[in-house]
Structure 1
């Protein structure tokens, strides 16, 4: 099947336009952070890296009420950045 030059250029422009739209969406998603009431949410991995602690230490903080957390239906725990900063200032 042969197509003429104008048809080819039109198709290429449409493909490039769609790639650019997808690129913008990916960029927006990659810069977007989890937030709750304007406060950034950190997961266990983020917090372990930030505080340089083990998963068991985070569990201990949660059990003793040292660090407030939110638990999702699937079992994942999230921590408000403001609560983490408050804990660091007061407890550590």
Structure 2
């Protein structure tokens, strides 16, 4: 069975279109799965990368109750809004530079 080049390209385009559709479905399912009350949930790895902190620091924030968390099926998650609030409360803005001419 031989197929010509144009027919082959058409088949490949249809296959790629289906992969794109499947990718969108997977992304949607992943976001839906990692949400609580319609809000995105982050796991430890997400937070470690986002805040650029160590695992021990993250554990300390949980232990001292500075960062609220939820345990679902034995895995720890954080609400994105809680993370934003933690950042606002924990990190102060940079100090203003004093003018050297005064």
Determine if the TM-score, normalized by the shorter chain, exceeds 0.5: yes
- TM-score calculated relative to the size of structure 1: 0.70
Matched residue pairs, number?
86
Q: Which residue of 2 aligns with 1:88?
A: 87
- TM-score calculated relative to the size of structure 2: 0.64
Alignment RMSD: 2.7
| Distance apart, 1:67 and its partner CA | 0.4
Following the alignment from structure 1 to structure 2, what is the Cα–Cα distance between the partners of residues 89 and 66?
Answer: 12
Task: Structure 1: state its 5+ residue gaps.
Answer: 3-8, 10-15
| Distance apart, 1:36 and its partner CA | 1.1
The SS at the match of 1:66 is coil
Worse-matched range after superposition: 44-53 or 16-25: 16-25
Question: Does 1:24 pair with 2:42?
Answer: no
If asked which structure has higher relative contact order (CA below 8 Å, sep 6+), I would say: 1
Task: Structure 2: state its 5+ residue gaps.
Answer: 2-6, 8-12, 92-102
Following the alignment from structure 2 to structure 1, what is the Cα–Cα distance between the partners of residues 47 and 60?
Answer: 13
Following the alignment from structure 1 to structure 2, what is the Cα–Cα distance between the partners of residues 88 and 61?
Answer: 11
Following the alignment from structure 2 to structure 1, what is the Cα–Cα distance between the partners of residues 43 and 61?
Answer: 14
The SS at the match of 1:68 is coil
